[in-house]
């Protein structure tokens, strides 16, 4: 895949990137406002959970992973074949440089080309940077799922965001 104006190159996420991707995932987990997960999975579990066609990494000029994005099916039912849930994580040192936007833009292009009409995600309301990124990338807030799950002993809300493709009919 090509580089964007930020100098970030978006490429397919492969096993070659596993260690860096899982490190970035764990860094996001450790911050406490990215996911209900408490530890990053091993590569086998990560690989099994993510759809192979829509896994991306953002790379710096020397090939270091700055961030990643991937999708999972929301259901095995055929009526939901065009709906996916996504994750996007950016290394703390690379935030504020357009990496997240580059990943989301590439993810939208990838999913639309495959006929996927809805990308959704749940974001903790305290993760204001992620909510702003998604808003700028064409996602809308569907609503807030209040007290949807316990995280480190506390109830947490999740803001459901989605992007409906205008290109997929």
Distance separating alpha carbons of residues 78 and 7, to the nearest angstrom: 39
Confirm whether 129 is domain-assigned: no
Determine, yes or no, domain membership for 18: yes
Report pLDDT digits (tens) over 113-140: 999 999 999 999 999 999 999 999 999 9
pLDDT in tens, 18-73: 999 999 999 999 999 999 999 999 999 999 999 999 999 999 999 999 999 999 99
108 found inside a domain? yes
Helices (H), ranges, the chain:
18-31, 43-49, 99-113, 128-136
**Is 55 within the bounds of a domain?**
yes
pLDDT at site 52: 93
For 95-112, what is each residue's pLDDT tens digit? 999 999 999 999 999 999
Could you tell me the pLDDT band of residue 5, with boundaries at 50, 70 and 90?
low
- The answer to whether position 1 is within a domain reads no
* Residue bearing tokens 């759809």: 51
Please report, for the domain that includes residue 64, its CATH number: 3.40.630.30
Q: What is the model's pLDDT at position 169? A: 74
93 assigned to some structural domain? yes
Is residue 157 a part of any domain in this protein? Answer: no
Domain of 114 in residue numbering reads as 9-119
Domain count, the chain: 1
Asked if residue 34 belongs to a domain, the reply is yes
| CA–CA distance, 70 with 52 (Å, rounded to integer) | 8
Mean pLDDT over all residues of the chain?
94
Average the pLDDT over 78-94 and give the result: 95
């Amino acid at each position: 895949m090509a580089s964007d104006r930020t100098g970030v190159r978006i490429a397919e996420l492969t096993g070659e990137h596993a260690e860096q991707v899982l490190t970035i995932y764990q860094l996001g987990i450790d911050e406490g406002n990215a996911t209900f997960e408490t530890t990053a999975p091993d590569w086998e579990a990560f690989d099994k959970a993510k759809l192979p066609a829509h896994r991306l990494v953002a790379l710096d000029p020397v090939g270091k992973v700055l961030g990643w994005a991937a999708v999972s099916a929301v259901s095995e039912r055929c009526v939901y074949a065009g709906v996916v849930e996504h994750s996007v994580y950016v290394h703390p040192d690379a935030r504020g440089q357009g990496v997240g936007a580059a990943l989301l833009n590439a993810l939208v292009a990838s999913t639309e080309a495959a006929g996927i009409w809805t990308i959704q995600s749940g974001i903790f309301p305290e993760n204001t940077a992620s909510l702003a990124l998604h808003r700028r990338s064409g996602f809308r807030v569907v609503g807030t799922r209040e007290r949807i799950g316990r995280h480190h002993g506390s109830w947490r809300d999740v803001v459901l965001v989605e992007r409906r493709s205008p290109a997929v009919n």
